[in-house]
Amino acid sequence: GSSNSPSNPSSGLSVSPLTSAPASPTMAATTPAMSPTPTASATPTVITYPGDGLSVNTKNVQSALANTSPAFEAFITKQLHTLWKQGGSVPGCQSSALIVLSRYSSAGYAGASDEGMFGAACARGGSNALYAEVNGTWQEIAATQAGYDCTLLQKYKVPVSIAGNTCSDSSGNSQPYSG
Note whether 143 and 113 are within 8 A (CB).
no
* Mean pLDDT within 83-109: 91
The better pLDDT of the pair 53, 11 is held by 53
Q: Give the number of other Cβ atoms within 10 Å of residue 103's Cβ.
A: 22
Q: Is the predicted pLDDT of residue 18 greater than 50, yes or no?
A: no
Strand intervals (E) in 59-173: 97-105, 109-117, 125-134, 137-144, 166-168
Helix (H, G, I), strand (E, B) or coil at 14: strand
Q: Is the predicted pLDDT of residue 83 greater than 80, yes or no?
A: yes
Q: Exposed, middle or buried, 75 (CB in 10 Å: 0-12/13-18/19+)?
A: buried
Per-residue pLDDT band for 42 (boundaries 50, 70, 90) equals confident
Q: Please report the pLDDT score of residue 41 as a whole number.
A: 57
Per-residue pLDDT band for 5 (boundaries 50, 70, 90) equals very low
Q: Please report the pLDDT score of residue 92 as a whole number.
A: 83
pLDDT tens figures, 101-116: 999 999 999 999 999 9
Q: Please report the pLDDT score of residue 22 as a whole number.
A: 34
What are residue 2's phi and psi, to 5 degrees?
A: -105, 155
Q: For residue 95, which of 60, 71, 69 has the smallest C-alpha distance? A: 60
pLDDT tens figures, 6-15: 333 334 444 4
Q: Please report the pLDDT score of residue 65 as a whole number.
A: 95
Q: Give the number of other Cβ atoms within 10 Å of residue 114's Cβ.
A: 18
Kindly report which listed range (23-27, 32-36, 71-75) carries the lowest average pLDDT score: 23-27
